[in-house]
């Protein structure tokens, strides 16, 4: 949610930003918001004037009663009753219009950074830099599910019986490898000074609406029937929600945290669920990082965060690249975002394994997170980044460390978490 003052004072900038995101259907929102805002402010002024008048008359009534001017006092009392009735009507209308205003405000996309490339969708994202040489070996690399099956590491038949499509059992050394990657990613972030956290895996609707748009919520999240609770699609949501309604001390910034959680996603959309493999599934595990910082520090943190993910994947012998997300591919709350993509020697192309975003003060505004500074309170900037998601990281690791004899080399950084095992046969 952007600052209402920006819409009041620079509505053309807001409209131009909507056009850059190719959301022209939202252009009427700007004028609707301005109109509603004016009505709410007019009602507020009218209400304040009536309250002031009521206070003045109440003082006069007390004086008249002391002077035994009962009839005049009763007349004033009747006037107070009229004011109260009018106030009740005004307050009701003000509350209704304020809710409408808030609802429309939450649909206006955040102002994107000037460095964001303009494009309609993810097909127009821009490659920024490659890390590591993308190698295609002179032997065939099977589909990742087939490799995992051969080493006894994947069982989707059983998960189909217990849970349906989009779930899986990881078994044996593959399950151990998954845990090893998450443990390594956790320790890597702790060594970077991030506080480790295991957050709630369910959050209330007011937290959900504070961290993402309604469209994203409907497409991603599972609701718990009969309760105001949603299963998290990423721990970023409960991590940022931790600070809901809080006033933070400026000297405690930046707040840097890394979290482990299972993640649950509907994966509604054109891509659908992958039947055989584990690329797009309903459930996975993830190590995440979040930062709350001063506005002037957010871009520095953004560049630090995505580089952490690059280093983790390079330490596991996986070539990656950074892909800048274009304007049309940015979720509404994001100011700037990039994807980290891993090389697939089987497909001879890159695929997404993580995403890093700065959201400006949008989430802080929605959740009422403020910082007490020397010159008054302000909203901090929030950032998030995927450290490692186990399913996609497994695919990248298996393909890039697969040997001609069907074995998988365990990267050196993971061996301490695998009991010293160097190879999976």
CB atoms within 10 A of CB 4: 17
Dihedral sign for Cα 60, 61, 66, 72, please.
positive
pLDDT, residue 272, reads 62
* CB-side neighbour CA atoms (13 Å) of 20: 24
Longest C-alpha distance within the chain, in Å? 107
Pairwise CA distance, residues 194 & 254, whole Å: 10
Q: How many CB atoms lie within 10 A of CB 324?
A: 18
Query: What tokens does 362 get?
Result: 């949008």
CA distance linking residue 210 with residue 333, whole number of Å: 10
Separation CA 419–CA 425 (nearest Å): 15
DSSP-derived letter for residue 22 is T
Domains located in the chain, CATH noted: 4-105 (1.10.287.40), 122-424 (3.30.930.10)
Please say whether the beta carbons of 169 and 357 come within 8 A: no
DSSP string, 201-244: SEE-HHHHHHHS-HHHHHHHPEEPTTSS-EE-SSHHHHHHHTTT
Contact 383, 335 (CB under 8 A): no
From first to last of the 425 residues of the chain, give the pLDDT tens digit.
Answer: 789 999 999 999 999 999 999 999 999 999 999 999 999 999 999 999 999 988 888 888 878 888 778 888 888 888 888 889 999 999 999 999 999 999 999 999 999 999 999 999 999 999 999 999 999 999 999 999 999 999 999 999 999 999 999 999 999 999 999 999 999 999 999 999 999 999 999 999 999 989 987 777 777 899 999 999 999 999 999 999 999 999 999 999 999 999 999 999 997 655 666 778 999 999 999 999 999 999 999 999 999 999 999 999 999 999 999 999 999 999 999 999 999 999 999 999 999 999 999 999 999 999 999 999 988 999 999 999 999 999 999 999 999 999 999 999 999 999 999 999 999 99
Comparing C-alpha atoms, which of 80, 84, 85, 86 is closest to residue 58? Answer: 80
b/e burial code for range 86-108 (CB count within 10 A of at least 16 → b): ebeebeeebeebbeebeebbbeb
- DSSP class of residue 415 equals G
User: What is the per-residue pLDDT for 269?
Assistant: 57
What pLDDT score was predicted for residue 271? 63
* β partners of residue 14: none
Q: Residues with Cβ < 8 Å from 213, sequence gap 6 or more? A: 106, 107, 331, 332, 333
Would you call the peptide bond into 254 cis, given omega within 30 degrees of 0 as the criterion?
yes
pTM: predicted TM-score of the whole model, two decimal places: 0.89
- The H-assigned helical ranges of 225-315 are 235-241, 298-314
Q: Is residue 92 classed as helix, strand or coil in its secondary structure?
A: helix
Residue 332: which H helix or E strand, with range?
Answer: none
pLDDT computed for residue 268 by the predictor: 63
């Amino acid at each position: 949610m952007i600052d209402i003052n920006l819409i009041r004072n620079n509505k053309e900038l807001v409209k131009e930003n909507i056009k850059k995101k190719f959301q022209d259907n939202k252009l009427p929102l700007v004028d609707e918001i301005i109109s509603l805002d004016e009505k709410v402010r007019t009602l507020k002024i009218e209400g304040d004037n009536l309250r002031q008048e009521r206070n003045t008359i109440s003082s006069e009534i007390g004086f008249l009663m002391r002077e035994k001017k009962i009839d005049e006092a009763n007349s004033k009392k009747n006037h107070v009753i009229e004011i109260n009735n009018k106030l009740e009507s005004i307050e009701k209308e003000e509350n209704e219009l304020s809710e409408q205003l808030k609802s429309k405000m939450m649909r206006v996309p955040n102002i994107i950074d000037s460095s964001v490339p303009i494009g309609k969708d993810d097909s127009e994202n821009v490659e920024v830099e490659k890390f590591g040489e993308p190698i295609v070996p002179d032997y065939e690399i099977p589909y990742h599910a087939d490799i995992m099956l051969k080493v006894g590491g994947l069982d989707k038949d059983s998960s189909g019986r217990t849970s349906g499509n989009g779930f899986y059992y990881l078994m044996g050394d593959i399950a151990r490898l998954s845990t090893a990657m998450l443990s390594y990613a956790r320790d890597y972030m702790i060594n970077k000074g991030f506080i480790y956290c295991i957050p709630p895996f369910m959050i209330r609707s007011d937290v959900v609406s504070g961290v993402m748009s309604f469209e994203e919520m409907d497409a991603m999240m599972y609701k718990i029937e009969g309760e105001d609770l949603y299963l998290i699609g990423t721990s970023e949501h409960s991590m940022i929600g931790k600070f809901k309604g809080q006033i933070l001390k400026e000297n405690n910034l930046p707040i840097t945290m890394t979290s482990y959680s299972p993640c649950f996603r509907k994966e509604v959309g054109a891509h659908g669920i992958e039947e055989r493999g584990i690329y797009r599934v309903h459930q996975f595990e993830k190590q995440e990082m979040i930062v709350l910082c001063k506005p002037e520090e957010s871009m520095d943190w953004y560049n630090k965060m995505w580089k952490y993910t690059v280093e983790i994947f390079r330490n596991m012998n996986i070539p990656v690249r950074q892909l800048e997300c274009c304007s049309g591919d940015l979720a509404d709350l994001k100011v700037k975002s990039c994807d980290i993509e891993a090389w697939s020697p089987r497909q001879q192309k890159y695929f997404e394994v993580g995403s890093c975003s700065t959201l400006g003060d949008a989430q802080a505004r929605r959740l009422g997170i403020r910082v007490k500074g020397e010159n008054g309170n302000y909203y901090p900037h929030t950032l998030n980044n995927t450290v490692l998601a186990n399913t996609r990281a497994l695919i990248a690791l298996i393909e890039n460390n697969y040997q001609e004899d069907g074995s998988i080399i365990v990267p050196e950084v993971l061996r301490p978490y695998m009991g010293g095992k160097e190879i999976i046969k």
